[in-house]
Structure 1
Amino acid sequence: MAGEAGMLELPLTRDDQLTRCMRLRFQSLQEKNTRPQDGEKLLHPNEHVYRVDFTRQRDLRFLRWNIHLERPGKVTVTGTSQHWTPDLTNLMNRQLLEPAGIFWKQPGAKEVGCNEADAQEFGERVAESAQIRKVMYFLLAFADGLEPAHLRASVVFKA
């Protein structure tokens, strides 16, 4: 999606198939009564996998997150260092990037709040990742009554 001249806005898209695979991994461990691998990240019910497909990979400078929440609540966006088309079912905690972007909307508020410094650093790391990846995966954790249907999110770069 190209917006203003020199801008590149890329949506965070829900990856329902990967989310389902990760949930099946969790279910399988429970049914077999086995423990996850040491350091394995299991998907909680409030977590969903999203992806950004980079239509351009070079010379991107992070500008801002476009996060729209239709209702009050909080979403935590965590990037993963998995490359290309991963099977995220065995995602390890060490593959989760710091810092995470935390975005929230207070009851009655029009604007979405965030920790600016973390969101900025996180965005810059996404821009760096774009240079070596065509796709980047994210775990989004929804809290305080917020659900995927209430979110529209994208990341905006200067190209």
Structure 2
Amino acid sequence: MQSNQYSPKHSRETGLCADQDRAASKGARETDNTQTTAAAAATMASVLELPFQEDTQLTEVMRLRVQSLQQRNHRPQDGERLLRPQEVVYRLDFSQQNLRFQRWSIQLSVPGKITITGISQLWTPDLTNLMTRQLLEPAGIFWKKSGEEQVQCYEADTQEFGERIAELAKIRKVMYFLLSFEDGTEPANINCSIAFKASP
């Protein structure tokens, strides 16, 4: 399956999140013959790619909250954000915290759409309910059309979203996300990660 690595540019247009960083790096290597193999290896080593990992325990806690409200015929707390049927909780664990956003890497093995929404605050659903005000904007929206290989995105939004994640990484070691699966996608047919430039 082909990997579609996103390198968003500052544009409000919809487009392919192409391998612009990799292409630019290749061009630089071709024009700069003085770069050594050791320097290139050091540059690659400074790029940190983190996978989005499904958090089944938190997802289950959120689903039980919805189920409990339904069984008791209770209303949610004012401003509470309940987990929707097509949503799953994911997490990023930051092994380093001084990061600069580089690119998204999103793979969809089937046509469809995913929306990644960040949660801005530290959140423990066993102690506090998730509130709408805790959700980051913009969200990252990625989709693949039937008959196409490339994943598309709203480039400016995904760029801004990636930069917000890098900022939040400075003050925490884990961050949670809601992933919404639409138009035929599900956790089994996606592979999502985000790459940062790590500073010493």
Which TM-score applies when normalising by structure 2? 0.75
Q: Deviations over 1:37-85 (max 9, x none)?
A: 0010111110000000000012x110011110010000000000121x6
Q: Which residue of 2 aligns with 1:41?
A: 81
Q: Structure 1 residue runs of 4+, over 3 Å off?
A: none
2:163 is aligned, of 100, 121, 124, to: 124
Q: Which residue of 1 aligns with 2:105?
A: 66
- Stretches of structure 1 that go unaligned for 5 or more consecutive residues are none
Aligned residue pair count: 155
In 2, distance between residues paired with 1:112 and 1:120?
15
Using the aligned pairs only, state the percent identity.
Answer: 64
Partner-residue secondary structure (3-state), 1:90: coil
1:1-159 alignment runs, 5 A limit:
4-58=44-98, 60-83=99-122, 86-87=124-125, 90-159=129-198
Q: CA deviation at 1:108?
A: 1.1
Rg comparison, structure with higher value: 2
Q: Deviations over 1:68-106 (max 9, x none)?
A: 0010000000000121x6227610000000000000000
In 1, distance between residues paired with 2:194 and 2:130?
23
In 2, distance between residues paired with 1:108 and 1:55?
38
Which TM-score applies when normalising by structure 1? 0.94
- Stretches of structure 2 that go unaligned for 5 or more consecutive residues are 1-42
AA aligned to 1:86 is T
In 2, distance between residues paired with 1:86 and 1:30?
21
